[in-house]
Amino acid sequence: MKNNPVLRVCSKVLFAPIILYGLYVQFHGDYGPGGGFQAGVIIAAAFILYGMIFSLKNLKKVTPPSVVHALMGIGALIYGGVGVVAFLNGGEYLNYNYLAADYAKGQHWGIILVEFGVGLTVASTILGLFMAFAGFEFSDYKQRKRR
């Protein structure tokens, strides 16, 4: 696939709009359908498309595995951190009312931060799984099995 000029051009043209649509779904999730999980899958799909067309080696240059692994943890920390802040402010865990002086603002900021954490975790996890499975070489498995 990486020598097909039509696929290369189409994937370059579609990469940014896919990411932009994922961000739209991410930040529109508190007003309508969508949110972190759906946005994470869409954004990961853009990077997976890039990796399938331009090779796993080039994908690892764009998104190094160490960065992908770090983003998995950062997303989970954002999600959990919102709950801890609410808990420390006197509310229940993940009760957004206690995130700001005004309950409506607390609800708004709470859902945005939680959905961002979920989106970041989902996107990086799916991309990490793709990199792990795509980087697995079957010939290495056969050689290890023979030993």
pLDDT in tens, the chain (147 residues): 667 889 999 999 999 999 999 999 998 876 766 688 999 999 999 999 999 999 888 999 999 999 999 999 999 999 999 999 998 988 899 888 888 888 888 888 888 899 999 999 999 999 999 999 987 554 444 555 555
pLDDT for the residue numbered 141: 46
89 with 135: CB under 8 angstroms?
no
Q: Which long-range contacts (CB under 8 A, 24 or more apart) does 53-56 make?
A: 53/1, 53/2, 53/4, 53/7, 53/8, 53/11, 54/2, 54/8, 54/11, 55/2, 56/131, 56/134, 56/135
pLDDT for the residue numbered 134: 87
pLDDT for the residue numbered 130: 94
